[in-house]
Amino acid sequence: MNAPILQLGSEAEQEAFGARLAASIDGSLLIFLEGDLGAGKTTLTRGFLRALGHRGTVKSPTYTLIEPYRIGDRRVYHLDLYRVADPGELEYLGLREMLDEEAVLLIEWAGRGEGWLPTPDLLITIRHCGEGREIALSAATPAGKAVLSRLESNL
């Protein structure tokens, strides 16, 4: 299931979309964030986390690979697999345990885990479009389709 492509003109609009996404999720979800370097994957994640109540900084997990967040009773993991050389490394990162938790996982560069990672509930592709961004969403599971449905009613 695919949603309409969204045109976002600024960083603030990307963060606002991240906030709408957070408001549309109830429970665990696996989200892949695709896009070139600088497309705004972490910007979207920042809006998502702030909407849940996170008040600290939101940094890209490029070097740490995983940034965990506990916000109230919610658990969110922001991962960047850009530096992962082999999908087998994900086992050592504890990703299997994260997938088993009641948590939302936002994974950048998920293609580096191909063959190891399960199908995402939601795929968000961000592309440069002039000064703004174009966001395409698709869902592959019932949970992802439910989120898309809630998102579409809030757009």
pLDDT at position 1 is: 67
Does residue 1 fall inside a structural domain? no
Q: Which domain holds residue 30?
A: 6-102+110-150
Contact present, 70 and 58 (Cβ < 8 Å): no
Task: Give the tens place of pLDDT for each residue, 110-154.
Answer: 999 988 999 999 999 998 888 788 899 999 999 999 999 898 876
- Residue range 82-106: average pLDDT? 89
Does residue 155 fall inside a structural domain? no
Residues with Cβ within 8 Å of 99's Cβ and at least 6 positions away in sequence, in order, are: 30, 105, 118
Question: At residue 104, what are phi and psi to the nearest 5 degrees?
Answer: -105, 130
Instruction: Please tell me which of 5-9, 41-45, 63-67, 83-87 the model is most confident about, judged by mean pLDDT.
Output: 41-45
101 pLDDT more than 70: yes
CATH code for the domain in which residue 136 is found: 3.40.50.300
**Cα 51 to Cα 116: distance, rounded to the nearest angstrom:** 30
**Cα 125 to Cα 78: distance, rounded to the nearest angstrom:** 16
22 pLDDT more than 90: yes
Rama region for 41: left / alpha / beta (φ>0; ψ in -120 to 50; rest): alpha
Domains in the chain: how many in total? 1
Residue 34 is classified by DSSP as: E
Amino acid at 4: P
pLDDT at position 147 is: 92
pTM as predicted: 0.92
Question: At residue 26, what are phi and psi to the nearest 5 degrees?
Answer: -130, 100
